């Protein structure tokens, strides 16, 4: 993923967010029965779901999201850089910080979008072509309300029958979030012809528009 001279692009892709032959499986996750009770202006939510390019791309097209920033969560500051995180031993997960207006989109609705078109909750320490704990799917609620909604939604998902394999996505306690390097911010907008974006992430945005037309925003909201 790190931008390198052209001759090294193939090796870089294999080492990190490697191109996939097709987009992740898209499902229509159930609407939450436990809706978020939120007030008081903009809120923050954190989602880990594989390569952060795609997570950021989807949420940047959601109405009510005012910012989506790629970064690292789960480890310490000393190793919060792309090269170290890519080793898979730092404890970080590639994570996106989403700032949203709950008057337009609630936290439970963000969860539904996330599990419908972004992350497969049945995969442990991988998403699509990407392998390693840095690509785990995780929810990082920042307050009691988000934690209650996240726990209720995971329970609902397990009972729904939508997924044929066990749900393994976990809730992680909030730790410091470290913003990723500039080259990873707004990556899908700035690199629409990149092989990984075309073959992996653009289909997720297309699925967002198809499954959630009321939440879809055609313009990309810069981080």
Catalytic residues: 51
Say which DSSP state 79 is in. G
Q: Rounded CA gap, 75 and 151, in Å? A: 23
- Contacts for 169 with CB less than 8 Å, ≥ 6 apart: 115, 119, 121, 137, 138, 139, 154
CB distance 184 to 96 below 8 Å:
no
Q: How many beta carbons lie within 10 A of that of residue 6, not counting itself?
A: 6
Location of structure tokens 């037309």: 213
CA separation, residue 27 to residues 127, 145, 153 (Å): 15, 26, 15
159 backbone φψ class: left, alpha, beta (φ>0; ψ -120 to 50): alpha
**Helix (H) or strand (E) segment spanning residue 152:** helix 144-160
Instruction: Quickly count helices (H) and strands (E) in the chain.
Output: 8, 8
């Amino acid at each position: 993923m790190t931008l390198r001279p052209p001759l090294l692009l193939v090796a870089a892709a294999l080492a990190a967010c490697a191109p996939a032959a097709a987009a992740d499986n898209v499902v229509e996750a159930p609407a939450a029965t436990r809706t978020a009770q939120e007030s008081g202006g903009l809120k923050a939510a954190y989602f880990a779901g594989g390569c952060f390019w795609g997570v950021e791309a989807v949420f940047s097209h959601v109405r009510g999201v005012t910012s989506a920033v790629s970064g690292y969560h789960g480890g310490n500051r000393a190793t919060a850089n792309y090269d170290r995180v890519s080793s898979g031993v730092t404890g970080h997960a590639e994570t996106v910080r989403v700032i949203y207006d709950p008057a337009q989109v609630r936290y439970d609705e963000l969860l539904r979008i996330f599990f419908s078109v972004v992350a497969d909750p049945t995969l442990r320490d991988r998403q699509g072509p990407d392998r390693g704990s840095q690509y785990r799917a995780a929810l990082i609620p920042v307050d009691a309300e988000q934690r209650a909604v996240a726990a209720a939604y995971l329970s609902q998902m397990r009972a729904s029958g939508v997924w044929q394999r066990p749900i393994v996505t976990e809730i992680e306690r909030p730790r410091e979030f470290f913003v990723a390097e500039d080259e990873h911010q707004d990556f899908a907008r700035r690199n629409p012809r990149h092989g990984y974006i075309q073959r992996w992430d653009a289909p997720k945005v297309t699925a967002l528009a198809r499954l959630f037309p009321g939440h879809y925003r055609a313009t990309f909201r810069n981080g």
